[in-house]
Amino acid sequence: PFALAALANAYETNKRYSDAIAIYDRIPMGTPLDSSIEIRKAINLNLLDRPEEAQQLLESLAQRYPDDIRPLDALGSIMRARKRYAEAVDYYTRAIALIPKPEKRHWTYWYARGTSYERLKKWPLAEADLQRALQLHPDQPLVLNYLGYSWIDQNRNLRQGMVLIEKAVALKPDDGYIVDSLGWAHYKLGNHKEAVRYLERA
């Protein structure tokens, strides 16, 4: 099973997703790899532009293993990438319900749901999730940037938003998207010279 899984992974690396699925199908059920294999198959189906089949596979897996957060995480990621944000929110909410005691490593679930809420224009819910993600992982550049940028873009908490983005840039100085946010923040605050400097750097 491990050799077949490695072969399937090699096909994935070469974007031969149908071949990868065929190899995964050769791995017998009942191995410790069962859940991981089904999730990989679903991800490959999505990459083949077959999201409904991927969704069906992962929903079935989530029913078979109701305490496993991974199928719900995969479902949320697929829906969010396809801009099906309402469905993504539902899956992330189900995933979060499986976390009895949130830890630092769980920040991604609140961040992902928060960004989905933001796309649905449900800002109070988005803001609460992003702040929860930041509470769990105060030095996470993605969260710092997203929350800071959102505040500044809405002309809210401008100084606090600037502090968050500056911290994100300090943590990831070579990330063009985050540096761009700092340029935009300076622009919104009327610091045009600084805005030009950071936007050109981005």
pLDDT band at 189 (very low <50, low <70, confident <90, very high): confident
- What is the reported pLDDT for 119? 97
- What is the reported pLDDT for 26? 96
Mean pLDDT of all residues in 32-40: 94
Residue 31, pLDDT above cutoff 90: no
- What is the reported pLDDT for 32? 87
Mean pLDDT of all residues in 93-118: 97
- What is the reported pLDDT for 137? 98
Q: Kindly report the average pLDDT of the chain as a whole number.
A: 96
Residue 58, pLDDT above cutoff 90: yes
- What is the reported pLDDT for 11? 98
For the chain, percent of residues with pLDDT exceeding 70: 100
Mean pLDDT of all residues in 132-161: 95
DSSP for the chain, written as a single string:
-HHHHHHHHHHHHTT-HHHHHHHHHTSPSSSTTHHHHHHHHHHHHHHTT-HHHHHHHHHHHHHHSTT-SHHHHHHHHHHHHTT-HHHHHHHHHHHHHT-SS--GGGHHHHHHHHHHHHHTT-HHHHHHHHHHHHHH-TT-HHHHHHHHHHHHHTTSSHHHHHHHHHHHHHH-TT-HHHHHHHHHHHHHTT-HHHHHHHHHH-
**HSE on the CB side for 49, CA within 13 Å?**
0
